[in-house]
């Protein structure tokens, strides 16, 4: 039998009443904070499910985002049924919200994407179910990075968020001959605790003279990541190209080595560009965090690589490690692997969402899969215990939850019910958790 949830405020009132009726009957279970023999039990972590509602087309996620939280215990319970589209809290955003959560799961951070409220930062205390209580003050980062910002929470103890943008403009000489494309980036850091702007900088970020003469330029940036030392910020980049003879878009040129912009932190000054000789294609990702610090280095996924996506490594010297070759095509035995989202645990093992050239074409795009990867061994294994469907669409996937060596994720084809699954990264064991109730054309975009 499936269990559904009462409104948690009503449930809390019932529990409080019962507690008042029995509080005087016994002192046997009283916790004495001065007695080292009595320790208050650890509270379960909140797991917040994010659901993207259909706009005009199935799977587009443009109808807004709803969130609903349960304890980690209930998230693992297949008898629990969660209906975020019916009972969830509407996260403010004109389109799919860009969500982040605190490391303990007790706070949700949101920056609204597009529309009249685009660029507004808000945060909420997670209180279970549809109850998300606004906390702190709102602040708009739109004056710095526009109303559709690309932002991420840095891994610095929930202190800082970083948002970025890039503007491009073709340049011509006095004879109207194309010379290069100017790429101007903007980076703003946000104090997540006090809801205030910390720093903002703009920079012109050129490629090499040879690359620019061929029409290459930085066209999109995203996913800022702080290095282990905390003194450099890495920003993923997409490289595009024009035909220098016409200044028209050229999609047939050579794909350059993957690149990352490096800035001093926290000043956001002194931009440089580093390049990989192992991976080619883009490093900006899409909706989810694309690079993570692990064991003194930063590991970064790339996309659009003609040899299949790689996980790349940036060492403590702030340069790519071109001896670290982790190719997903080779590891998974597929062609055209494309990393959609991923998240490592502290043991260097990660859950990774991907598609490939053999993926079925579903209602919203190419079917996705999950794999367990090992950053140290450079291995990847498809997680066969998670059910798959041609309409299982992961391109907009945003969030995983890491709890120790376990990683939580959501599964559910567009318009179909699904489940939370929990992967024990040490063993690869997969646990089927709570049911996720869907509605027509909509899908689940992760947990936080």
pLDDT tens per residue across span 370-423 = 999 999 999 999 999 999 999 999 999 999 999 999 999 999 999 999 999 999
Average pLDDT estimate for 49-71:
96
47 phi, psi to nearest 5 deg: -120, 115
Average pLDDT estimate for 116-132:
95
Residue 96: what pLDDT?
A: 87
> Residue ranges per domain, the chain?
8-21+41-335+439-447
Residue 40: what pLDDT?
A: 60
pLDDT tens per residue across span 321-379 = 999 999 999 999 999 999 999 999 999 999 999 999 999 999 999 999 999 999 999 99
Among the listed ranges 16-30, 175-189, 232-246, 263-277, which one has the minimum average pLDDT value? 16-30
Residue 401: what pLDDT?
A: 98
> Over 50: is that where the pLDDT of 7 sits?
no
- Sequence-distant (6+) residues with CB within 8 A of 390 are 360, 361, 362, 363, 367, 413
Average pLDDT estimate for 34-39:
52
CB 352 within 8 A of CB 338: no
Q: How far apart are CA 448 and CA 409, in angstroms?
A: 9
pLDDT tens per residue across span 297-312 = 999 999 999 999 999 9
Average pLDDT estimate for 253-265:
98
Tokens of residue 415, six digits: 């318009």
User: pLDDT band at 19, cuts 50/70/90?
Assistant: very low
Mean pLDDT over the full length of the chain: 92
Average pLDDT estimate for 134-140:
94
Residue 44: what pLDDT?
A: 82
Q: How much of the chain exceeds pLDDT 90, in percent? A: 87
> Over 80: is that where the pLDDT of 144 sits?
yes
pLDDT tens per residue across span 87-108 = 999 999 888 889 999 999 999 9
Going 431 to 435 to 439 to 445, the CA torsion angle's sign is: negative
Please state the pTM of the whole predicted model: 0.90
Q: How far apart are CA 136 and CA 133, in angstroms?
A: 10
Beta bridge partners, 261, equal 235, 273
């Amino acid at each position: 039998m499936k269990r559904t949830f009462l409104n948690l405020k009503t449930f809390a009132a019932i529990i409080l009443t019962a507690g008042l009726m029995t509080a005087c009957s016994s002192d046997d279970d009283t916790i004495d904070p001065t007695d080292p023999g009595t320790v208050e039990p650890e509270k379960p972590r909140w797991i917040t499910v994010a659901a993207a509602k259909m706009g005009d087309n199935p799977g587009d996620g443009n109808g807004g985002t709803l969130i609903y939280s349960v304890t980690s215990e209930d998230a693992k319970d297949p008898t629990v049924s969660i209906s975020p589209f019916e009972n969830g809290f509407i996260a403010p955003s004109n389109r799919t919200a860009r969500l982040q959560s605190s490391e303990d799961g007790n706070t949700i951070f949101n920056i609204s994407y597009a529309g009249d409220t685009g660029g507004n930062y808000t945060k909420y205390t997670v209180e279970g179910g549809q109850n998300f209580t606004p906390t702190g003050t709102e602040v708009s980062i739109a004056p710095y990075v526009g109303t559709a910002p690309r932002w991420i929470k840095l891994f610095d103890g929930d202190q800082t968020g970083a948002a970025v943008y890039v503007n491009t403009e073709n340049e011509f000489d006095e004879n109207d001959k194309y010379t290069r494309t100017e790429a101007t980036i903007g980076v703003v850091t946000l104090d997540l605790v006090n809801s205030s702007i910390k720093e903002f900088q703009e920079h012109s970020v050129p490629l090499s003279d040879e690359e620019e003469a061929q029409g290459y330029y930085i066209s999109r940036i995203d996913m800022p990541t702080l290095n282990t030392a905390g003194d450099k910020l890495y920003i993923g980049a997409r490289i595009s190209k024009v035909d220098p003879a016409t200044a028209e878009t050229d999609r047939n040129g050579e794909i350059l080595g993957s690149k990352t912009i490096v800035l001093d932190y926290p000043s956001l000054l002194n931009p440089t560009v580093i390049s990989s000789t192992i991976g080619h294609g883009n490093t900006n990702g899409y909706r989810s965090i694309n690079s993570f610090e692990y064991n003194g280095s930063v590991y970064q996924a790339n996309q659009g690589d003609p040899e299949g996506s790689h996980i790349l490594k940036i060492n403590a010297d702030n340069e790519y490690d071109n001896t670290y070759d982790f190719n997903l095509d080779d590891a998974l035995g597929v062609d055209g692997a494309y990393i959609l989202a991923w998240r490592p645990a502290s043991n260097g093992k990660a859950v990774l969402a991907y598609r490939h050239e053999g993926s079925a074409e579903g209602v919203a795009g190419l079917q996705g899969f999950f794999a367990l990867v090992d950053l140290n061994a450079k291995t990847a294994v498809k997680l066969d215990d998670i059910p798959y469907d041609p309409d299982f669409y992961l391109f907009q996937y945003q969030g995983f939850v890491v709890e120790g060596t376990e990683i939580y994720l959501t599964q559910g084809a567009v318009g179909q019910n699904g489940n939370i699954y929990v992967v024990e990264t040490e063993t690869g064991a997969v646990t089927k958790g709570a049911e996720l109730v869907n509605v027509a054309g909509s899908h689940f975009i992760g947990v936080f």
